[in-house]
Structure 1
Amino acid sequence: MKKLIVLFSFILDIAVSTNAQTKPAEFKFDKESYDFGKIPLGKPVSVEFKFTNVGETPLIVTDVQTTCGCTVPEYTKTPVQSGKTGVIKVTYNPAGAALPFSKSITITSNAKTTTKVLYIKGETVAGSTK
Protein backbone atom coordinates (compact mmCIF):
# COMPACT_ATOMS: atom_id res chain seq x y z
CA MET A 1 0.00 0.00 0.00
CA LYS A 2 2.84 2.33 0.89
CA LYS A 3 4.47 1.71 -2.52
CA LEU A 4 1.17 2.47 -4.24
CA ILE A 5 0.85 5.82 -2.42
CA VAL A 6 4.45 6.73 -3.26
CA LEU A 7 3.88 5.78 -6.91
CA PHE A 8 0.65 7.78 -7.06
CA SER A 9 2.39 10.81 -5.48
CA PHE A 10 5.23 10.54 -8.00
CA ILE A 11 2.81 10.41 -10.96
CA LEU A 12 0.81 13.33 -9.57
CA ASP A 13 3.98 15.37 -9.09
CA ILE A 14 5.04 14.74 -12.71
CA ALA A 15 1.58 15.73 -13.98
CA VAL A 16 1.54 18.96 -11.96
CA SER A 17 5.09 19.97 -12.90
CA THR A 18 4.44 19.22 -16.59
CA ASN A 19 1.31 21.39 -16.49
CA ALA A 20 3.19 24.18 -14.74
CA GLN A 21 5.70 24.28 -17.61
CA THR A 22 3.02 24.58 -20.31
CA LYS A 23 3.39 27.87 -22.15
CA PRO A 24 0.14 29.85 -21.78
CA ALA A 25 -1.83 31.08 -24.78
CA GLU A 26 -0.36 34.21 -26.38
CA PHE A 27 -1.10 36.44 -29.38
CA LYS A 28 1.34 37.12 -32.20
CA PHE A 29 -0.22 39.66 -34.57
CA ASP A 30 0.84 40.25 -38.18
CA LYS A 31 0.31 43.98 -37.43
CA GLU A 32 -0.95 45.89 -34.39
CA SER A 33 -1.89 49.17 -36.07
CA TYR A 34 -3.28 50.21 -39.42
CA ASP A 35 -3.41 53.56 -41.24
CA PHE A 36 -6.36 53.85 -43.66
CA GLY A 37 -4.94 57.08 -45.09
CA LYS A 38 -7.59 59.41 -46.53
CA ILE A 39 -11.11 57.98 -46.70
CA PRO A 40 -14.34 59.65 -47.83
CA LEU A 41 -17.01 60.51 -45.27
CA GLY A 42 -19.86 57.97 -45.13
CA LYS A 43 -17.88 55.11 -46.75
CA PRO A 44 -17.08 52.33 -44.25
CA VAL A 45 -13.62 50.76 -44.40
CA SER A 46 -12.37 47.54 -42.82
CA VAL A 47 -9.09 45.94 -41.83
CA GLU A 48 -8.31 42.44 -40.55
CA PHE A 49 -5.79 41.95 -37.77
CA LYS A 50 -4.64 38.32 -38.12
CA PHE A 51 -3.04 36.60 -35.15
CA THR A 52 -1.44 33.28 -34.32
CA ASN A 53 -1.61 31.54 -30.94
CA VAL A 54 2.08 31.04 -30.12
CA GLY A 55 1.29 29.47 -26.73
CA GLU A 56 0.60 25.83 -25.96
CA THR A 57 -2.92 26.19 -24.56
CA PRO A 58 -6.03 27.29 -26.52
CA LEU A 59 -6.42 31.07 -26.88
CA ILE A 60 -9.92 32.37 -26.11
CA VAL A 61 -10.90 35.94 -27.01
CA THR A 62 -13.58 36.87 -24.48
CA ASP A 63 -14.33 40.46 -25.53
CA VAL A 64 -13.37 43.17 -28.01
CA GLN A 65 -14.22 46.79 -27.17
CA THR A 66 -13.84 49.93 -29.25
CA THR A 67 -13.74 53.59 -28.26
CA CYS A 68 -16.92 54.58 -30.13
CA GLY A 69 -19.91 53.26 -32.06
CA CYS A 70 -18.29 54.25 -35.36
CA THR A 71 -15.82 51.35 -34.96
CA VAL A 72 -17.32 47.85 -35.04
CA PRO A 73 -15.27 44.71 -34.27
CA GLU A 74 -15.85 41.12 -35.36
CA TYR A 75 -13.62 38.37 -34.03
CA THR A 76 -12.93 34.66 -33.84
CA LYS A 77 -15.20 33.39 -31.08
CA THR A 78 -14.01 29.77 -30.97
CA PRO A 79 -10.83 28.77 -29.08
CA VAL A 80 -7.71 29.17 -31.24
CA GLN A 81 -5.50 26.13 -30.78
CA SER A 82 -1.72 26.31 -30.48
CA GLY A 83 -0.14 27.29 -33.81
CA LYS A 84 -3.51 28.16 -35.39
CA THR A 85 -4.75 31.58 -36.50
CA GLY A 86 -7.69 33.85 -35.76
CA VAL A 87 -8.89 37.24 -36.95
CA ILE A 88 -10.09 40.50 -35.46
CA LYS A 89 -11.87 42.46 -38.19
CA VAL A 90 -12.50 46.15 -37.51
CA THR A 91 -14.88 48.28 -39.58
CA TYR A 92 -14.73 52.06 -39.26
CA ASN A 93 -17.73 54.08 -40.47
CA PRO A 94 -16.71 57.74 -40.86
CA ALA A 95 -19.46 60.25 -40.19
CA GLY A 96 -19.53 63.90 -39.19
CA ALA A 97 -16.77 66.31 -40.05
CA ALA A 98 -13.71 65.70 -42.20
CA LEU A 99 -10.98 65.23 -39.59
CA PRO A 100 -8.07 62.96 -38.70
CA PHE A 101 -9.08 60.03 -36.48
CA SER A 102 -7.33 57.59 -34.18
CA LYS A 103 -9.18 54.70 -32.53
CA SER A 104 -8.15 51.91 -30.20
CA ILE A 105 -9.52 48.38 -30.06
CA THR A 106 -9.08 46.58 -26.72
CA ILE A 107 -9.02 42.78 -26.73
CA THR A 108 -9.63 40.76 -23.57
CA SER A 109 -8.58 37.10 -23.55
CA ASN A 110 -7.08 34.27 -21.55
CA ALA A 111 -3.65 34.99 -23.05
CA LYS A 112 -0.56 35.50 -20.91
CA THR A 113 -1.06 39.22 -21.51
CA THR A 114 -4.82 39.31 -20.89
CA THR A 115 -5.44 42.72 -22.49
CA LYS A 116 -4.11 43.73 -25.90
CA VAL A 117 -4.72 47.04 -27.72
CA LEU A 118 -4.78 47.49 -31.50
CA TYR A 119 -4.98 50.85 -33.28
CA ILE A 120 -6.49 52.29 -36.45
CA LYS A 121 -6.04 55.79 -37.80
CA GLY A 122 -6.60 57.87 -40.88
CA GLU A 123 -8.24 61.01 -42.11
CA THR A 124 -11.80 61.48 -43.26
CA VAL A 125 -12.27 63.81 -46.21
CA ALA A 126 -15.32 65.29 -47.93
CA GLY A 127 -16.22 63.68 -51.26
CA SER A 128 -14.43 60.72 -52.81
CA THR A 129 -10.74 59.83 -52.85
CA LYS A 130 -8.93 58.54 -55.91
Structure 2
Amino acid sequence: MKKYLLTLAVLLSLSMAASAQDAELLDPTPPGPFIKFSEMSHDFGDIEQGDRVEYTFEFTNTGDAPVVISNVLTTCGCTASSWPREPIVPGASSKIEVTFNSTGKIGHQNKVITIMSNATNNPERVKIVTNILPKADS
Protein backbone atom coordinates (compact mmCIF):
# COMPACT_ATOMS: atom_id res chain seq x y z
CA MET A 1 0.00 0.00 0.00
CA LYS A 2 2.85 2.41 0.86
CA LYS A 3 4.47 1.70 -2.52
CA TYR A 4 1.19 2.43 -4.25
CA LEU A 5 0.76 5.77 -2.45
CA LEU A 6 4.38 6.73 -3.07
CA THR A 7 4.05 5.91 -6.78
CA LEU A 8 0.80 7.89 -6.97
CA ALA A 9 2.43 10.89 -5.25
CA VAL A 10 5.41 10.82 -7.64
CA LEU A 11 3.15 10.56 -10.70
CA LEU A 12 0.95 13.40 -9.44
CA SER A 13 3.92 15.71 -8.83
CA LEU A 14 5.35 14.92 -12.27
CA SER A 15 1.98 15.63 -13.84
CA MET A 16 1.71 19.00 -12.05
CA ALA A 17 5.25 19.97 -13.10
CA ALA A 18 4.46 19.06 -16.71
CA SER A 19 1.25 21.14 -16.58
CA ALA A 20 3.16 24.19 -15.33
CA GLN A 21 5.73 23.80 -18.10
CA ASP A 22 2.94 23.40 -20.68
CA ALA A 23 1.31 26.62 -19.42
CA GLU A 24 4.61 28.50 -19.82
CA LEU A 25 4.99 27.15 -23.34
CA LEU A 26 1.46 28.21 -24.29
CA ASP A 27 1.71 31.75 -22.89
CA PRO A 28 5.35 32.79 -22.72
CA THR A 29 6.35 36.44 -22.35
CA PRO A 30 8.89 37.05 -25.10
CA PRO A 31 12.12 38.90 -24.30
CA GLY A 32 11.92 42.69 -24.47
CA PRO A 33 9.31 45.18 -23.25
CA PHE A 34 5.74 43.88 -22.83
CA ILE A 35 2.55 45.81 -21.99
CA LYS A 36 0.05 43.95 -19.79
CA PHE A 37 -3.25 45.77 -19.17
CA SER A 38 -5.26 45.00 -16.05
CA GLU A 39 -8.43 45.41 -18.18
CA MET A 40 -8.74 45.26 -21.95
CA SER A 41 -12.24 46.78 -22.09
CA HIS A 42 -14.43 49.14 -20.07
CA ASP A 43 -18.21 49.44 -20.39
CA PHE A 44 -19.68 52.77 -19.25
CA GLY A 45 -23.20 51.36 -19.55
CA ASP A 46 -25.96 53.82 -20.46
CA ILE A 47 -25.03 57.49 -20.64
CA GLU A 48 -26.95 60.51 -21.88
CA GLN A 49 -26.17 62.19 -25.18
CA GLY A 50 -23.73 65.06 -24.54
CA ASP A 51 -22.10 63.41 -21.51
CA ARG A 52 -18.31 63.23 -21.27
CA VAL A 53 -16.98 60.14 -19.54
CA GLU A 54 -13.44 59.19 -18.57
CA TYR A 55 -11.66 55.94 -17.80
CA THR A 56 -8.09 55.09 -16.86
CA PHE A 57 -6.55 51.93 -18.30
CA GLU A 58 -3.76 50.72 -16.04
CA PHE A 59 -0.88 48.63 -17.34
CA THR A 60 2.38 47.08 -16.21
CA ASN A 61 5.56 46.47 -18.14
CA THR A 62 5.96 42.72 -17.52
CA GLY A 63 8.89 42.49 -19.92
CA ASP A 64 12.62 42.80 -19.31
CA ALA A 65 13.28 46.15 -21.05
CA PRO A 66 11.70 49.64 -20.82
CA VAL A 67 8.43 50.25 -22.70
CA VAL A 68 8.25 53.48 -24.70
CA ILE A 69 4.79 54.48 -25.95
CA SER A 70 5.13 56.42 -29.19
CA ASN A 71 1.46 57.13 -29.90
CA VAL A 72 -2.09 56.33 -28.83
CA LEU A 73 -4.60 56.28 -31.67
CA THR A 74 -8.36 56.59 -31.33
CA THR A 75 -11.10 55.72 -33.81
CA CYS A 76 -12.65 59.20 -33.93
CA GLY A 77 -12.34 62.75 -32.68
CA CYS A 78 -14.89 62.00 -29.95
CA THR A 79 -12.24 60.04 -28.03
CA ALA A 80 -9.11 61.64 -26.57
CA SER A 81 -6.24 60.13 -24.62
CA SER A 82 -3.21 61.00 -22.56
CA TRP A 83 -0.31 58.64 -21.94
CA PRO A 84 3.11 58.61 -20.30
CA ARG A 85 5.90 60.07 -22.42
CA GLU A 86 8.72 58.67 -20.29
CA PRO A 87 9.91 55.04 -20.54
CA ILE A 88 8.19 52.54 -18.24
CA VAL A 89 10.88 50.34 -16.69
CA PRO A 90 10.36 46.57 -16.26
CA GLY A 91 8.00 45.85 -13.37
CA ALA A 92 6.65 49.42 -13.26
CA SER A 93 3.02 50.37 -13.82
CA SER A 94 1.46 53.36 -15.52
CA LYS A 95 -1.83 54.43 -17.08
CA ILE A 96 -3.53 55.68 -20.20
CA GLU A 97 -6.41 58.06 -19.61
CA VAL A 98 -9.27 58.04 -22.12
CA THR A 99 -12.05 60.62 -22.45
CA PHE A 100 -15.15 60.03 -24.58
CA ASN A 101 -17.47 62.88 -25.64
CA SER A 102 -20.92 61.59 -26.60
CA THR A 103 -22.10 64.83 -28.25
CA GLY A 104 -23.74 64.01 -31.58
CA LYS A 105 -23.71 60.24 -30.91
CA ILE A 106 -26.61 57.89 -30.22
CA GLY A 107 -26.96 54.18 -29.51
CA HIS A 108 -24.28 51.56 -28.96
CA GLN A 109 -20.68 52.81 -29.27
CA ASN A 110 -17.53 50.68 -29.35
CA LYS A 111 -14.33 52.73 -29.51
CA VAL A 112 -10.94 51.07 -29.94
CA ILE A 113 -7.79 52.70 -28.58
CA THR A 114 -4.57 51.50 -30.23
CA ILE A 115 -1.34 51.80 -28.27
CA MET A 116 1.81 52.07 -30.42
CA SER A 117 5.06 51.27 -28.64
CA ASN A 118 8.31 49.38 -28.74
CA ALA A 119 6.70 46.45 -26.87
CA THR A 120 6.84 42.95 -28.29
CA ASN A 121 3.02 42.96 -28.28
CA ASN A 122 2.83 46.11 -30.43
CA PRO A 123 0.29 47.37 -31.27
CA GLU A 124 -1.89 46.67 -28.25
CA ARG A 125 -5.58 47.57 -28.20
CA VAL A 126 -8.09 48.39 -25.48
CA LYS A 127 -11.67 49.53 -25.94
CA ILE A 128 -14.48 51.49 -24.36
CA VAL A 129 -18.12 50.62 -24.85
CA THR A 130 -21.25 52.58 -24.03
CA ASN A 131 -24.88 53.00 -24.98
CA ILE A 132 -25.92 56.61 -25.57
CA LEU A 133 -29.48 57.51 -24.75
CA PRO A 134 -31.24 60.60 -26.10
CA LYS A 135 -30.85 63.65 -23.89
CA ALA A 136 -33.70 63.91 -21.40
CA ASP A 137 -35.92 66.99 -21.75
CA SER A 138 -35.32 69.47 -18.94
Structure 2 length-normalised TM: 0.74
Task: Find out whether 1:85 has 2:96 as its counterpart.
Answer: no
Corresponding position of 1:60: 68
Corresponding position of 2:32: 24
Question: SS of 1:56's equivalent?
Answer: coil
Contact 2:50 2:135 in 1 (8 A): no
From 103, 112, 115, give the equivalent of 1:104: 112
Structure 1: 5+ residue stretches without partners:
1-21
Q: Deviations over 1:75-102 (max 9, x none)?
A: 1111000100111111000011431111
Contact 2:41 2:128 in 1 (8 A): yes
The alpha-carbon deviation at position 127 of structure 1 amounts to 3.0
Quote the Cα distance in structure 2 between the aligned partners of 1:52 and 1:60. 12
Corresponding position of 2:80: 72
Task: Find out whether 1:113 has 2:129 as its counterpart.
Answer: no
Question: SS of 2:46's equivalent?
Answer: strand
Q: Deviations over 1:13-44 (max 9, x none)?
A: xxxxxxxxx92000111101011100111110
Paired AA for residue 108 in structure 2: P
Quote the Cα distance in structure 2 between the aligned partners of 1:126 and 1:67. 22
Question: SS of 2:80's equivalent?
Answer: strand
Contact 2:63 2:91 in 1 (8 A): yes
Corresponding position of 1:126: 134
Structure 1 length-normalised TM: 0.78
Structure 2: 5+ residue stretches without partners:
1-29
Percent identity at matched positions?
A: 35
Task: Find out whether 1:38 has 2:46 as its counterpart.
Answer: yes
Q: Deviations over 1:46-89 (max 9, x none)?
A: 11110000011100000000000000011111100010011111
Q: Displaced runs of 4+ in structure 1, greater than 2 A?
A: none
Quote the Cα distance in structure 1 between the aligned partners of 2:131 and 2:85. 31
